[in-house]
Amino acid sequence: MSGPRPLQTPFVAAALLILLCGALVVAQRRHEEALAERDASSLLRLQVEVVAREFAAVGSDLALLAGDPRTLAAAQGDAAAKAELDQALVRFSAARGTYHQVRILDADGGERVRVNLDDQGPRAVGAAELQAKGDRDYVAGALALSPGQVFVSRFDLNVEHGRVEEPARPTVRFAAPIVDTTGRTQGAVVLNQGAARLLEELGSVARADALDFQLVDHQGFWIQAPPGHQPWGFALPHADRLTQADPSLWSAIDAQPQGSRLDRTGLWRWQRWSPSGDSTPGPLHFVASIPRSALRARSRRLLVSLAALLAVALPLLGASTASSARADGERDRAALQLAESEGRLRLLTLRLLEGQERERQRLCRDLHDDLGQISTALRIDSETARRAPDEERRAAALARVADNAEVLLEHIHRIAADLRPALLDDLGLADALRRHCADVQERSGVEVTLRLSLPPAPLPSEAVDHGWRILQEALGNVVRHAQARRVEVELGREDRGLRIVVADDGRGFDPSSVPPSSLGLLGMRERAELLGGTFSLRSAPDQGTRIEVCIPLPPTGA
């Protein structure tokens, strides 16, 4: 009776190797799908939070304007109040920089005050340019609301004199009623919030994650369309919409607040969100996708590699066991690298959330302690002025109101500057860095040498934002930890892309002793790698520290 054939016989070894390769490909595909769905879910949560935060900020501005006594007086036809409000709203529009129009309407929907914002800045229009808006749905909706309620329109294109403005300007209209002391509606405040910057921000976040993104309104029209399609079909002649392009996908999106599906075109993930206004046209649908070709890229590369391995292994069965072992080792190392990468991402996310929570607590204290106290003082002085028995006391109380209002505005500007540095927007990267280096030198006493070699053409916004944060963090580490006398900063464009170097003569350190949870170094590395760049750190005790980052840029003229 003959014994069993050994596993290393040619046919058994070949069959086992083929089965192993097939299993690896299937496992890789499932892993890719799971990672893609996780990334898409994270992207949609972030994008919904960005839009919700933007809408909440506009709602706060709307409530502030609707409650201003000058607004009520202007809506009722007070010429003096209108003249004063013209100038106040010009300053308000310039400070915000995002409202295409700020309007005060009377009880019939007629414009009493309008401030337009264009490339030349804000401008209060004359009486001859004011229009009747009573037939607009958002005006009728706002005038029908109760005090404190807000009307939020759909994402739309700005319309002037009955026609879509050219070039098209994406807009969301926010409106609230103006009520007198008896609770009667005397008009409405309307803010036309420019949406182009917000839509570009949503798209850039998706591109950074290598995902396709669509924003679809409640009727299935694209606000942000995928390649090959056009947005704003409800306002423009083409009438392109998701309901016609892919009825099956729209049916799934319209039926479920959130969900996902995998079909022949790729992986789809969506999430529904509705604005918090009291009169809204319907929800928005945030849709992220990754094409099947991109979803299968890694598994195809793995399949090609395994096919090449089989081509070598089948003629050389004697080496099949060793080849399988090497493949297993490579897979284990890849899994370990993936696990380490995911661990770093989880750690960074945790640290960012902790930092965000600390920042929220700080903002809460600022709002409660500083703005709350000032607002209380304003209310007391306003009441004192209202009840003052003579003109002298009234004038003194009003003077205190004006002083406290100026202090309140300064606090608001400071809080806004903490949230988003205005240097980048106002000065550009080069001038902002000059100013920041000068501030670091003045505050810390560290001598800062700056070398710039940037082209005149503007850099991509993602490279500017991440490069600025990396430079801020690197200089902050020098001031906090390095005990340096001098630091050299280089920023320039090379063939490889945007090059950032920060080198100090401080006490240095052993990089291997830095814990993986160090948020500063981890954040700089992740920002560089997020854009496909590189991050290197060289340091030793008493030898200073040198950080070098390279962020890829599109070719000049591309």
Percent helix, percent strand, percent coil in the chain, to nearest 5? 55, 20, 25
From 419, 440, 459, the end of a domain falls on 419
pLDDT at 317 over 80: no
* pLDDT tops 70 at residue 368: no
Residues 506 and 531 in one domain: yes
User: When comparing pLDDT for 301 and 471, which is higher?
Assistant: 471
- Are 427 and 395 in a shared domain? no
Rg (alpha carbons) of the chain, rounded to whole number: 30
Asked if residue 518 is part of any domain, the answer here is yes
Domain for residue 324, yes or no? yes
pLDDT tens digits, 152-184? 999 999 887 778 888 888 999 999 999 999 999
What does the pLDDT average to over 78-104? 93
pTM: 0.51
- Whether the per-residue pLDDT at 313 is higher than 60: the answer is no
Highest mean pLDDT among 154-168, 211-225, 284-298, 420-434: 211-225
Neighbouring residues of 171: CB distance < 8 A, sequence distance ≥ 6: 100, 155, 156, 157, 158, 192, 193, 194, 195
The residue from 419, 444, 460 where one domain ends is 419
Considering the domain boundaries, does residue 150 fall inside one? no
The better pLDDT of the pair 73, 349 is held by 73
Q: What is the pLDDT of residue 211?
A: 83
CA 543 to chain centre: 39
Instruction: Report the pLDDT value the prediction gives residue 7, as an integer from 0 to 100.
Output: 43
Could you tell me what percent of the chain has a pLDDT over 70? 76
Distance CA 230, CA 344 (A): 39
Mean residue pLDDT across the chain: 82
In which domain, by residue range, is 499 found?
A: 423-551
How many angstroms separate the CA atoms of 230 and 240, rounded? 6
- The tally of domains found in the chain comes to 3
Q: Which pair of tokens denotes residue 312?
A: 């070598």
Asked whether residue 336 is assigned to any structural domain, the reply reads yes
Q: Please check whether residues 283 and 335 belong to one and the same domain.
A: no
- Same-domain pairing of 289 and 207: yes
- The residue with greater pLDDT, 529 or 105, is 105
Residue that terminates a domain, selected from 252, 280, 303 = 303
pLDDT band at 16 (very low <50, low <70, confident <90, very high): low
Same domain membership, residue 291 and residue 408 = no
> Could you tell me which residue, 175 or 1, shows the higher pLDDT?
175
Q: What is the CATH number of the domain that holds 459?
A: 3.30.565.10
Write the CB contacts of 278 (distance below 8 Å, at least 6 apart in sequence).
145, 146, 149, 150, 151
Residue 311 has pLDDT above 80, yes or no: no
Give me the mean pLDDT over the 492-514 stretch.
90
Do residues 298 and 320 both lie within one domain? Answer: no
181 occurs within a structural domain: no
The amino acid that residue 300 corresponds to is: R
431 and 521 together in one domain: yes
* One domain for residues 457 and 438: yes
Select the more confidently predicted residue: 197 or 161: 197
Residue 206 confidence (pLDDT): 81
- Give me the percent of the chain exceeding a pLDDT of 90: 39
Shared domain for 522 and 435, answered yes or no, is yes
pLDDT tens digits along 508-537: 999 888 776 566 787 788 888 878 889 999
**389 vs 269, higher pLDDT:** 269
- Alpha helices by DSSP H, 445-509: 461-477
Assess whether 387 and 504 both reside in one domain. no
Is the pLDDT assigned to residue 303 strictly greater than 60? Answer: no
CATH number of the domain enclosing 235: 3.30.450.20
Please state which of the ranges 84-88, 423-427, 461-465 shows the lowest mean pLDDT: 423-427
Beta partners for 268? Answer: 261, 289
Confidence of residue 1 (pLDDT cuts 50, 70, 90): very low
Residue 394 falls within a domain, yes or no? yes
More confident site: 337 or 529: 529
State the pLDDT at residue 5.
47
